Amino acid sequence: MLEKIYETTEFLRERGFVNPDAGIILGTGLGGLTAKMENCIEMDYRDIPNFPVSTVDGHEGKLIYGDFGNRKVVAMKGRFHYYEGHGPEKVSFPVRVLKYLGIKCLFLSNASGGLNPAFEIGDIMIVTDHINLLPNPLIGPNDDRIGVRFPDMGEAYDEYLIRKAVQIAETHGIKVRKGVYLSTTGPTFETPAEYKFFRTAGADAVGMSTTTEVIVARHMNLPCFAVSIITDLGVEGKIEYNTHEAVLKEAAKAEDRMTTIMTDMISSL
């Protein structure tokens, strides 16, 4: 794997992706943050060696390097999912490339279903922990040059970055929630019984991404910060028929608030 990481990293460096301070992975319907970036270099995933191709609406499939929040960042405008047929190693491969490009922190976003009865559609939830029900991307032989065989996940989401995000949100008058994110394989939305089960297990939101990327980032000792945009509710009495189009619509409504938080956080690195 390390040889593939080197190959992809060198390919990107030769095209100007040099010394980024942070990496950003943008979830369903949340790619608009890249409009705030300046002096950009863009590459389609299909043109990058060893990268998979995104096949989901709302995931444009571009790697973008540029200035954001007074820092150099690399943003993934669209991510990869297990349900697209990509194995866990393939889903998480771009995270390893971002690390070897030089990022110091990884910022992630996703659209998710709210399980906490106190949540409302449009809420921004800062992820404090997760429950991973996707195949673990570290299964298989371990390369000690990349990370340890048994990485600790006691602080999967960086506590300092979480506190910083709460302070920034308060400064801007943005309401945020905090909670546990649970990931499933998808692509089906959850049944009412599954919503109830996940809530009983301790989850506040459920989605189909993020945890695989965070596990790989922590394997390489990379600090992570993640937010979930609550685009629908899996709360008894509030469950409605859901579609991917509805998720995109609700995610777009919250994007400006999320971008404000991300901008200030990256500026303060």
Q: For the domain that residue 112 is a member of, what is the CATH number?
A: 3.40.50.1580
pLDDT at 243: 77
Nearby residues of 140 by Cβ (< 8 Å), 6 or more positions away: 89
Which residues on neighbouring strands pair with residue 114, listed in sequence order?
205, 233
Read off the tokens for 197: 């089960």
Residue 174 Cα distances to 23, 25, 168, 263, angstroms:
23, 21, 8, 14
Helix (H) or strand (E) holding 179: strand 176-183
Residue 236's nearest CA partner among 131, 130, 116 is 116
7 in Cβ contact with 13 (< 8 Å): no
pLDDT at 255: 84
Q: What angle, 0 to 180 degrees and rounded to 10, lies between the N-to-C axes of helices 159-172 and 244-267?
A: 100
pLDDT at 40: 94
Helix or strand or coil: residue 34?
Answer: helix
Cβ atoms within 10 Å of 205's Cβ, excluding its own = 29
Q: Which domain holds residue 9?
A: 2-267
C-alpha to C-alpha distance for 8 and 39, rounded to whole angstroms: 22
- Residue by residue, pLDDT tens for the chain (269 residues) are 899 999 999 999 999 999 999 999 988 666 678 888 999 999 999 999 999 877 665 456 899 999 998 899 999 998 888 888 888 888 889 999 999 999 999 999 999 999 999 999 999 999 999 999 999 999 999 999 999 999 999 999 999 999 999 999 999 999 999 999 999 999 998 999 999 999 999 999 999 999 999 999 999 999 999 999 999 988 887 776 677 787 777 777 888 898 899 999 999 88
pLDDT at 32: 76
29 in Cβ contact with 58 (< 8 Å): yes
pLDDT at 36: 85
C-alpha to C-alpha distance for 48 and 10, rounded to whole angstroms: 11
pLDDT at 253: 81
pLDDT at 29: 61
- pTM here is 0.93
Q: Is the peptide bond before 187 cis (omega within 30 degrees of 0)?
A: yes
The count of structural domains within the chain is 1
Helix residue ranges per DSSP H, the chain: 2-13, 88-101, 159-172, 192-200, 211-219, 244-267
